[in-house]
Structure formats: C-alpha cells, structure tokens
Chain A
Amino acid sequence: MTGSPGIRRRTARLAMDLLARLAVLGLVALMVFALPRLLPGDPVQAMLASDHAQNLGPAELAALRERLGLTGGWGRQLGDWLGDLARGDLGRSIRHARPVAALIAESLPWTLLLILGAMPVYLLGGALAGIQAGRARGGALDRGLTGFVTVLASIPPFVLAILLMLGFAILWPVLPAGGALPLFPSDRPLVRAGQVARHAVLPVAALALHEFARFYYLARAEAVSLSRRPFLLNAEARGLPPLRLLVDYHGRNILPAFVARLSDSLSGLIGAAVIVEIVFSYPGIGGLVYGAILDRDYPLLQGATITLAAGVLALNWLIDAALAVLAERG
C-alpha cells in the first residue's frame, strides 16, 4: 500500500469508525426487534380492536397470525427478519398490507424535503445572525437577538409548529395548514413544484426555527472568540470589506465547529421532523412510524427505524470523515 503514514492512519481510523457504526446498527436492530414486542398488545389485537370487528375463534386467530408471520418464538422471528434484511427485504407492513420498502420509498422523500429545506435556512441564518451578534457583543443587536433566540430555544418543536400554523394558516391564512399538495395538484411540473414548495413552507420553518438556536449560539460564541484574535483585528484595521470579513474570516473559521455540530444535530432533526409532520399532517416517515407504534406493526416499525438509523449513522460517518480532513488542513 502506498501513501503517507498520515493517510494510512486516517484510513485505518475511518475503517474502525465504520465498524463501530455497524456494531451500533446491529444493536439498534436488536433493540428495534425486541422493544415493540415488549409493549403490551400485538398486531392482531390492534387489528381487531375496532368495535365493528367480529370475534374470531381460536382457529381463525391462529390462521391470521400464521398469515401475518407472527407465529413461532422470538428467536425464529428474529432469524427470519435478519435473513430477510440480509437479502435486502424489509418485510411487509401488517397495517398497510404493502412492502415496507415501498412505504418508506413513498414517504422518505417528503421527510427529506423538509430536512433538506430546513438545513440551509438554519445553517445560514444561524451563522449570519450569530456572527453579527458575536461581533457586536453586548450591543443592542446582540442583546435583542440573543433574547429572541433564547425564547425561541425554550419552545418545544410541536408548540412552534402549532404557533406557525395558527399564525400563517388560520388567523392570517396565507399558507396551507397541512398536507403536501393542494386538492387538485397541477400536471405542469413547474406549477406543481410551486405547490409543493408552498405546502412545505410552514413545516420547513418549524424545523428550521427548532434548529436555528443551536447554530446561532455556536456561531455567536465562535465570533466572540474570533473577534479578539490578532489576525482578525489586523484584517479589520486593514479596512477589508464587511462581506469578506464575514465569509473569509468568520465563516471559514466556524466551518469545522458547524460540521461537528451538524453530526450531532441530525438525530434531533429527524425526531423533530416526526413531530412536525404529525402537526401539519405532512405525509413523511414520521406519521408512518407513529402509526406503526400505535398499531404494533412490527415489520414497518423495524424497517423504518433501521433505515433511519442506517442513514443517520452513515451521515455521521461521512461528517466525521470530513472533519478529519478539515482538522488535518488545520
């Protein structure tokens, strides 16, 4: 193998990190298999809980359980599931009577739309506001912004979502209160994209505001610290344009901290997305998982959770790799 010792060390470390994450994924798989089964009730009970369902006899119930793959002990069910997973088969939802992979494929893009829509908003917004506040530490802007963000940070995501809905969809109804598309979506791609964007504004805003405070505080703290550094004082004394100071001096220096924090915030962001989707009746993976818990839909719960966990762990690994590169650049 060629390459410097530094590159080899980095590669070995990344490989170790990957193995560690695979181990975590294995642990998540075991937990997501066991935990729903420890909850009281099971899928058949949930399925037959309706007032209008008839009492099935023991033979009929046994046949139903067999058809739903709920027979055999935990060991057999776990073995079957892991075997299916190894073949790339996430199983079949009991409630939705469809392959779990298809359900996730239909829902996940909507959740990703919210997350990817919110990320630039809170990253750029948090950075700009935080840097400006940090550069003028103790000034009116800093006091006002920090006070506002502190109040914002104390509001739980579901309350924030409800307040946004109340403000912009009910009291001043300029945006839709729920859903991802209008009643009659347009066939024209551009118009349809506009309709999708319009429906995403409030959920994206709720998500972005939820994460905004975290990055605002980070950017502000970094800006306060940087403002005292000689190279920045020197640059200001040289009369560099404000935009260049902001981007080349503050921006570049807070980038590693932002990337590190991004890794940390991903799981929280997905948790908040679940809540925001439920409030706005948005058709993402949040409602799917929530319904799967209520209906004890083991295959769907297992499939959705393992998919999300794999995604978060993979992103974390990529972010860690990027951080390693940034750290080596100094």
Chain B
Amino acid sequence: MRGLSRIALLALFALLAAPMLAQEDRPLVVTDSRADRGMLAPYLHSRNGIAYLYTSYVFDSLVSQDRQGRPAPGLAASWTTSPDGLTADLQMDTRARWHDGKPVTARDAAFTFAYMARRPYPFVSLKNVAGAEALSDSHLRIRLKTRDAGLVSGLLMALPILPEHIYASQEAPERFTAPEAATGSGPYRLAGYDKVQGRYMLEAVPDYYAGAPRFPRLMIVAMAPDAAIRALRGGEIDVISDLPVERAALVEAQGLQVVRARSGHVTKLAFNHRGLFGARAMRQALAQALDRLAILDITAPNGAGALAETGYFQQGSPWREDRADPAWPHDPARAAELLEAQGFTRDGAGRWRRAGSPVTLRLVSDESQARVAQVVADQLDTFGFGVDLRLMERTALQALPPGGDYDLLVASVSTTGDPGDIATRVTGEAWNADRYAGDGRIAAALEAARQAATPEERLAHLHAFQRLYAEELPSLMLVDPVMAAAHGGRIALDFMPDGARIGIPTAIDKSAFLQE
C-alpha cells in the first residue's frame, strides 16, 4: 500500500512539474483566442481578417504598409500611374526572393492577376482590372477599366502575389495543401503548422529584401484569454493579440503593458429600407428616439467603447473630415413630431399606432450583439413601439435577404481600410451592408471618390459622403468598440491607424516584426 502511495505521489509530482521544463531560445509567442486559422496560403486560410493578416506574414503584396498605415514599397519598389489613371507601371524590387530561393519577378505578379481573375480570392476584387503584363522581369504594367483612386492603398496592398512556378500547375488551389502552397515572399516562412492545436511556427527569412525581421522565430498559438493572461504574467508568452478590453485594467495592474484603440468596427443599427424605414424622416425619428449615450454606457462601460460617429468614418480615420457630424441626441419630442408627420398616432397608453393598428418593430441580431439589441429594444419599447426582438444564429442572420422579414438589424461593420470598397458596405447587398439606395447621392459621391484624379479630390468627395451619410442615415452608428492587446515588453506594439492592410484592426501587423 505504501508503494502504491509513493507511485501516486511521484505521478502527481510529474504532472504538476511538467510546466517547469526549461525552454531555451524561445520564439516570440503571440496568442490568439480563436482556434486554427487554416494554412497560411491565400486559398487555404480561413475567410476572416485575422487569417488574412497571418497569411500576409508569409505572402507579400506589391505595396506594403508602414507603421503609420501609409503605403510603402513592397514587392514593387516604386510605381507611377498614367495621367488618365488607367495604367499603372510598377518597378519590382529585384532583391525579392521566394522562400525556395527563386527570384520574384513581374511575371509572378502578372500571373497572380490572371490566376485570381479565374479563381476569385474573396479578399480582393479584380473586376476593374483589364489586364496585367510583365514588360520585363522587373517592370509590371497594370491596365484598369476605369480610374481607381484606391488602386495603390487598396488593391495593390491587398493582393498577395503568388509564385508562378508553384501555382501555375494548380487548377484547384483550394485542394493544394502541400507545404509548397505556403511558399511566399514575405518576411517569415511557415516552418510548422499544427492544425489540431491551432499553432503556427514561423521562421524569419534572414535575407528578406526589406531587411532581416526582428525576431528569428514567431509562434502563434490558440489560447483562451484567462490562460493567456496567466501565461503572459509567467513570461511564457509575449503578446496577447486580442485581449478582452474589460480585462485590460486587471492586466495593467499586474505590471504588464496594454495598448488600446478604437476598432472602427462599429456596432450599428441598420434599417430595412424596403419597409417602414425607407423614408429618411423615419430613420431620423428613430435616431432621436434612441439614447445612444445610454446604449454606450450600458453595453460598453469603463471605456470599452466610444460613441460612434454618425458620418460613417470614425475618429482616427485618415478619410474623416474633422467636423462635428449630427449627433442625433436623444430627443423624444422631436422624434414624436417626425413620426406624427409620417402619419403615426399615439393611443391613450402612449403606444404608437399606424392606420389604426399598433406598431411592432421586428428587430433582429445575433448573440454577439445581444446586449446592444436588448437595450435598443428596451428603449424603443419605452418610447411606445412594440418590439419583436429575435436573436438568430449567426449564419441564419447572414442569410437574411434584403427587404426580408425585419425592420431593424443590429450588426457590426468595418469602417476601416481603403475607402474603395465602401460602396459595397453601403449600397451592397451583403447581410451587414446598409443595403441603401436612397436618392443616389451617396452612391454618386462614392463613385466620384473612386474615380478621383488626385488624393485631394478623392478626400473632398469622401468628406461629402461623410456629410450625406450623417444626414441620410443609411444606418445609425451606435458604438465604436475599443480593442486591446497586451505584451510583456519584448516588443513595442501599437494599433495601426485605420487598420492593417484591408482594414484589419490589429496591433500585430507584420510591420511590427520588421526593423524600422
């Protein structure tokens, strides 16, 4: 019996002692609260922004981004556009190499344009590209169908360039899962990928054309926030890339460093423009029936969010005009006036009626926005509307068609990144787009911005769009959530203004791992 006890004690000691094993030459360890993001190759990674971001560590694009978010030389060392804006000439950086040692040429870039036109890659739209050709190994010419003011900061920054010598033979890139699929030209090469554990090991490319990366090895691991905080405190990891902002103060109190920023991924109230809220006055009435400050205080207390700007662009966006957009403050009397002008009446109990029938608004959302949706429902109920709140499963909500069975939708939407694709988010048909047509002025302003000849002209059109958006209210922006990341001091982090690459709100864009 004593022998058994001894064995049990030894086993227990072995179990508890396991984490104390010494680890030498530790890579920079970054945690991600979500599990596996897929293989880091353009056609294999998961279809979300973070998976795209990780893939950008391995695959470079023609135009890169500096720490301030501005376009910077990438695989293309320089570029010029023709006066009519329909032709772009790019000079490739001849020092760039694929991870297997072969040189990156303009032919690879031209091949990528042709390949992705035939096999769409969801994060890039090539609809406006008439063609791309390699005039030499170092000279790429891109021809556009129409002028695109966002060519450099949009398409050229977003498009990962593929190696022709590897992908040319791949008819179905979604099925190409061999390790060669992750042969990129970025600062890190994929050295290990454990799908089951959700872990990536990336090794620096020492002769990277833009300078050797700062960390010889970079490891990304899936780890729940509580475990990650403990591991950061214990020095086992270096960065928590997505720290829940409500834990930020706790983490700071433990002597760790936290960076925060407004995400620009705004929680908004979208309207069904094919129903009750087709009229602008109805949307403005609703905006004043709601108390956005109270929604913020209840759903994002202690600095977990900020009051969203109503003119689409949020604070910190380089595209935003520094002006006071209409705030649509809580004004129930004004909201009532607007509703009465639209033919609504109030009964003795203060409930709104239309054509003699009580008005019940159908409000839909999913679990991720349940709190905001509930507060909005409560406020509308207090104001006198009946509210039918439905919290739907995420994919079911995404399947809700335009003009479908709803009046109001609470959803999150990105307002960051190059404004070239704002039209898809405002006038497009996607589930969380505004699905707004209106009188066409907003669409016209966005098209004018897209085809602007100069940056100044583009900005002027975007400022006009901002003013129109705040007045017309295709959607009512409610809360701009704050994001946080934590680190132990081994790396200096900061959130990239207006998001990384395609507008991903993150503090771990690949520029953070490169020499200044």
Asked whether B196 is an interface residue with its Cβ less than 8 Å from the other chain, the reply is yes
Given A97-B44, A184-B21, 19 extra CB contacts under 8 A = A41-B399, A45-B395, A49-B394, A49-B430, A51-B432, A52-B123, A52-B414, A55-B428, A57-B127, A106-B195, A179-B223, A180-B196, A180-B197, A183-B221, A194-B14, A198-B18, A281-B223, A287-B35, A295-B395
The size bracket of the interface on A is 35 or more
A281 adjacent to B35 (CB under 8 Å): yes
A97 to B47, CA, bound (A): 11
Which of B21, B119, B432 is close to A191, meaning CB atoms less than 8 Å apart? B21
Quick one: which of A27-61 are within 8 Å of B by CB? Answer: 39-42, 45-57, 60
Residues of B within 8 A of A48 (CB): 47, 122, 430
Is B223 a contact of A51 with CB atoms below 8 Å?
A: no
State the main secondary structure of chain B at its contact with A.
Answer: loop
Q: Which 4 A-B pairs have the closest CB atoms?
A: A41-B399, A51-B414, A54-B125, A41-B395
**Cβ contact within 8 Å between B46 and A110:** no
Contact bitstring A56-68, B, C-beta under 8 A = 1, else 0: 1100100110011
Q: Taking the complex as formed, is A96 at the interface, i.e. its CB lies under 8 A from any CB of chain B?
A: yes
The answer to whether B16 and A52 have CB atoms under 8 Å apart is no
Closest to A99 in B: B177
The interface stretch among A76-84, A169-177, A259-267 is A169-177
Please name all residues of chain B whose beta carbon is closer than 8 Å to the beta carbon of A291 when the two chains form the complex.
Answer: 35
Contacts of B35 in A (CB 8 A): 281, 283, 287, 291
Per a CB cutoff under 8 Å, which of A53, A183, A194, A294 touches B237?
A183
- Chain A nearest CB, measured from B398 CB (Å): 5
Which A positions have Cβ atoms within 8 angstroms of B?
Answer: 39-42, 45-57, 60, 63-64, 67-68, 92, 95-98, 103, 106-107, 110, 169-170, 173-174, 176-184, 186, 191, 194-195, 197-198, 201, 281, 283, 287, 291, 294-296
Q: Are B224 and A95 in contact (CB under 8 A)?
A: no
Q: Measured between alpha carbons, how far is A121 from B382 in the docked complex, in Å?
A: 54
Chain B residues within an 8 Å CB radius of A191: 18, 21
- Docked complex Cα distance between A67 and B121 (Å): 13
Q: Choose from A97, A177, A183 the contact partner of B224 (Cβ within 8 Å).
A: A177
A-B contact pairs, 26 of them (CB 8 A): A40-B399, A50-B48, A50-B49, A51-B265, A51-B414, A53-B122, A55-B125, A55-B429, A55-B430, A56-B125, A60-B120, A63-B118, A63-B119, A96-B195, A97-B38, A98-B195, A103-B195, A106-B195, A170-B226, A173-B230, A183-B29, A183-B219, A194-B18, A195-B18, A287-B35, A291-B35
Pairwise interchain contact B123-A54, C-beta atoms closer than 8 A: yes
The listed residue (B23, B43, B47, B198) touching A50 by CB distance below 8 A is B47
Query: CB within 8 A of B222: which of A53, A57, A63, A179?
Result: A179
* Interchain CB contact (< 8 A) of B46 among A95, A170, A183: A95
C-alpha spacing A67/B430, complex, angstroms: 22
B31 nearest CB across to chain A (Å):
9
Partner of A183, one of B44, B47, B236: B236
Taking a contact as CB atoms under 8 Å apart, the answer to whether B197 and A296 are in contact is no
A45→B221 contact, CB < 8 A: no
Interchain CB contact under 8 A, A52 and B395: no
Residues of A within 8 A of B432 (CB): 51
Verify A50–B122 contact, CB threshold 8 A: yes
Does B174 lie within 8 Å of A201, measured CB to CB? no
In the complex the two chains form, what is the Cα distance from A178 to B222 in whole Å?
10
- Which one of B43, B177, B417, B504 has the greatest number of beta carbons of chain A within 10 Å? B177
Interface residues of B in 114-141 (CB under 8 A from A): 118-120, 122-125, 127
Give the residues in chain A near B198, CB-CB below 8 Å: 283
How far does the alpha carbon of A98 sit from the alpha carbon of B177 in the complex, in Å?
7
Q: Which residue of A lies closest to B396 (CB)?
A: A40
Residue of B nearest to A281 (CB): B224
Task: Report the separation of the CA atoms of residues A52 and B421 in the bound assembly, to the nearest whole angstrom.
Answer: 9
Q: With the chains together, A184 CA to B23 CA distance in Å?
A: 7
A198: which of B15, B47, B224, B414 is its contact (CB, 8 Å)? B15
User: Known contacts A40-B395, A177-B230; is A52 also within 8 Å of B503 by CB?
Assistant: yes
Q: Does any Cβ of A come within 8 Å of B227's Cβ?
A: yes
Q: Nearest chain A CB to B428's CB is how many angstroms away?
A: 5
Q: Is the CB of B43 within 8 A of A97?
A: yes
CB distance from A147 to the nearest CB of B (A): 28
Contacts of B151-185 to chain A: CB distance below 8 A: 172, 174-175, 177
Q: Is B479 an interface residue (CB 8 A)?
A: no
Q: Is B39 at the interface (CB under 8 A from chain A)?
A: yes
Whether a CB of chain A sits under 8 angstroms from the CB of B431 is yes
In the complex, what residues of B have CB within 8 A of residue A67's CB?
119, 172, 174
**Shortest CB–CB separation between residue B408 and chain A, in angstroms?**
19
Give Cα A267–Cα B57 distance, bound, in whole angstroms: 43
Contact indicator B399/A53 (Cβ below 8 Å): no
Q: How far is the CA of A110 from the CA of B26 in the complex (A)?
A: 27
CA distance A33 to B489 in the complex (A): 51
Q: Once the chains are docked, how many angstroms separate the CA of A55 from the CA of B15? A: 51
Whether the Cβ atoms of B428 and A64 lie closer than 8 Å is: no
* A-chain residues with CB within 8 Å of residue B394 when the two chains form the complex: 49, 294
- Chain B residues numbered 485-505 whose CB sits less than 8 Å from any CB in chain A: 502-504
Encode contact with A along B81-95: 1 for CB under 8 Å, 0 otherwise.
Answer: 000000000000000
Among B39, B48, B231, B502, which residue has its beta carbon within 8 angstroms of that of A97?
B39
**B19 at interface by CB-CB < 8 Å:** yes
Taking a contact as CB atoms under 8 Å apart, the answer to whether A51 and B413 are in contact is yes
> How many Å from the CB of A189 to the closest CB on chain B?
14
Question: Which residues of chain B come closer than 8 Å to A174, judged between CB atoms?
Answer: 16
**List of A residues within 8 angstroms of B398 by Cβ:** 41, 45-46, 49
Instruction: Name the A residues within 8 Å of B230 (CB-CB).
Output: 170, 173, 177
| Cα-based distance from A63 to B43 in the complex (angstroms) | 14
Bitwise, B407-437 to A at CB < 8 A (1) or not (0) is 0000011100100010011001111100000
A110 to B35, CA, bound (A): 15
On chain A, the residues within 8 Å of B196 by CB distance are: 106-107, 110, 180, 283
Known contacts A41-B399, A179-B222; A54 and B227 CB within 8 A of each other? no
